[in-house]
Amino acid sequence: MLVLQSYARLGFLVKRSVERALRGLGIDHADVLLLGWYQQPPAKRIVEAALDLRERGLIRHIGISGHRRTMFPEILDDERYAIWHLRYNAVHRGAEREIFPRLEEVPHERRPGVVTFTTTRWGHLCDPRRTPPGERTPTGTDCYRFSLSDPRVDIAMAGPGSAEEMRQALAALELGPMNDEELAWMRRVGDHIYGRDRTSAVRD
């Protein structure tokens, strides 16, 4: 699957950025146009530009990415967005309260695909210096398994910087969801990191 992300805030710039990217890649279409970093639903002209690209066959689906979780329930009934791209990890679990329960209100076949990012919390979850005493430090595999253990999460984004990190990401698929004991452990580690980091509330 090929995803093009655009941070443009003008409709004609969204179109131009996608057209330029496709030419640069030497392909005729992308699977997804991801409208990046929205704190509120995009302006009408942005959406119209994305729809025009889809009608022209340059993209197949429209996704939206954001850090303000309360935006997503606002677009729950807007079927133009096929994918929601949102933050979720063992430290920042607000999606469990503010997003995931609302998805249950929609028939499964009409739900957007959910893709999570910042799964390792910028590597903090895998940093032994941040791990509470007496607890095992999570690996990247543990972080991805935690996110994918929620049945409402379809994909956990990974950004491996080495072969070992890639192996850890792929191992999450082999091991599958966590059990209750593993989930409780990850939440304990996450709560400890959240409470020790003065920026947690801002980053939430």
Q: Where are the domains of the chain?
A: 3-203
What confidence category does residue 184 fall into, taking pLDDT thresholds of 50, 70 and 90? very high
Percent of the chain with pLDDT over 90: 95
SS (H, E, C) 74-98: HCCCCCCCCEEEEECCCCCCCHHHH
- 13: buried, middle or exposed (CB in 10 Å: 19+, 13-18, 0-12)? middle
Find the mean pLDDT for residues 80-101: 97
DSSP one-letter code for 33: E
Evaluate if residue 145 carries a pLDDT over 90: yes
Rounded to two decimals, the pTM is 0.94
30 with 60: CB under 8 angstroms?
yes
Q: What CATH number should be reported for the domain whose range is 3-203?
A: 3.20.20.100
Find the mean pLDDT for residues 185-202: 92
Alpha carbons within 13 A on the beta-carbon side of 1: 12
